[in-house]
Amino acid sequence: MKILFIQPSPYGSDSLPIKKKRLYFVGLALPLLAALTPKDWQVEICLETIEDIPYDTDAHIIALSGMGHSIVRSINLAKEFRGLGKTVIMGGYMASLMPKEAKKYCDAVVIGDAELAWPRLLEDYQHDSLQPYYEEQLKELDPPLPRYELLLGKKIGDFLPVQAGRGCPKSCSFCSVHCLYRNRYYQRPVAAVMRDIHYVQNLGFRKFLLLDDNILAHPSYLLQLCEQIKPLNMTWYSQCSIEIVHRPDLLKAAAESGCRALSFGLESISQESLAAIDKDWADSSQYPALIRTIQDAGIDVSTEMVVGADGDTKESIARTADFIKKNKIVVPRFYILTPIPGTDFYTQMLTQGRICNHDLYSYNGTEAVHIPRHMSPEELTQAYWQLYEEVFSLGSILQRTILRKDFWKRPWDFFLYLVVNLYYRHHIKKKITPNIF
């Protein structure tokens, strides 16, 4: 018996799945699902961004993952494979947030975590008793070693993902993680995370991406993890809450253990906007000082921000470009605030009659699909792209990467950011949001 796991590629503006020479970021879902599959099954992974879909596969089951707007591609692939007589299963964030819609196109949907549900689904399949939905909450996060080796030989980046935690204790209204996990947050034992990091290192990788939506939830955990990572002499990247600044010991431990850059979901420089998305535990007036402290600790700051919340005006969006430049953010990313179906923000916009576009393809973070408070959806989309153009102008790129006082401390890192920025600029010129690969 055989399963083909597919990570679909979102459609580009030419209505074709976006193709790349290299997929720098790979998610963990497919190698983990492969590891959760009993040994008597054969498994194959297809990353559509860099590989062609093998329509002539002899697989019995086609398992489709996908996040955000790539769900549109998943649905189309589901239809095609069902037409070819295959059993199609969908899972991952988007299918989990809209399971009834996903089920229309496939044989079964796995909602949320697959650790318990996936083996049960396969057993049901073998007994010819497949159920339409599978949903089993975890008591603890104890996944097997992901089958990373299935990614070797594919054109991916020079790092692999390793998961420390899943879910999130925070309640930001727009976030899919909050919507799916409702404040549940699982953290793996440090020894289990180290097992995966060692494995990744033994495969020849010197870098890894630590996946955890709230690595700071238990500071002693992070401290312990850093202490064990340090002797490996590896480089790692992760995302984190800006609150890390209040623990200088953690910042120091992270930097000394090889953490080169952290990505912070700052969301907005407008406090009113932060309040509107239930994130006013953050204080935007403190952002510059907090960022400086992190940079001074030797960790580079990358940011994720959204535009279009209720406090945002055209002016505040334009000012965001100055904020990014002044604070020398090495890799800044922006999205238009999007009411992802299932989230609290979606319900809020729906009840206020503020959703102006129901086509899921447009829920890609680059098109306004809700009516913002202080501008029209078209103006928001325009302000969003202007912000990207401004932040990724050559002058801004140079200032944020190589024309900085601390350049000589780590010139190679800053050169790397320069290359990443130029790569992003290339995409922005083609109106493709960077960071979707």
Residues in contact with ligand B12 by the rule CB under 6 A: 7, 9-10, 25-29, 32-33, 63-70, 89-94, 97, 110, 113-115, 118, 161, 163, 175-177, 211, 213, 335, 340, 364-365, 433, 435-437
User: Which residues have CB under 8 Å from 367's CB, separation 6+?
Assistant: 336, 357, 381
Q: Which pair of tokens denotes residue 207?
A: 């870098």
SS3 label, residue 256: helix
Nearer to ligand B12, 127 or 405 (CB): 127
- Looking at the DSSP assignment, which residues form a beta bridge with residue 47? 7
Least distance from C-beta 166 to ligand B12, angstroms?
6
- Assigned token pair, 217: 């939830």
Tell me the closest approach of the beta carbon of residue 83 to ligand B12, in angstroms: 18
Between vectors from CA 37 to CA 155 and to CA 110, what angle results, nearest 5°? 90
Q: Which is nearer to ligand B12, 208 or 221 (CB)?
A: 208
Q: Judged by CB, which is closer to ligand B12: 213, or 312?
A: 213
**In terms of Cα–Cα distance, which of 46, 50, 73 is closest to 62?**
46
CA distances from 45 to 29, 54, 110, 163, 209 (A): 11, 10, 18, 19, 20
Q: Shortest gap between Cβ of 346 and ligand B12 (angstroms)? A: 10
For residues 154 and 252, which CB has a smaller minimum distance to ligand B12 in the complex? 154
Cα 24 from chain centre: 13
Would you say 208 or 414 has its CB closer to ligand B12?
Answer: 208
We find the least distance from the C-beta atom of residue 119 to ligand B12, in angstroms, to be 10
Residue 1 Cβ, how far from ligand B12 at the closest point, in Å? Answer: 16
Rounded to the nearest whole angstrom, what is the least distance from the CB of residue 208 to ligand B12 in the complex?
12
Residue 377 Cα distances to 344, 350, 354, 362, 369, angstroms: 20, 15, 10, 12, 7
d(CA 107, CA 102): 9
Question: Which of 19, 315 has the CB closer to ligand B12?
Answer: 19
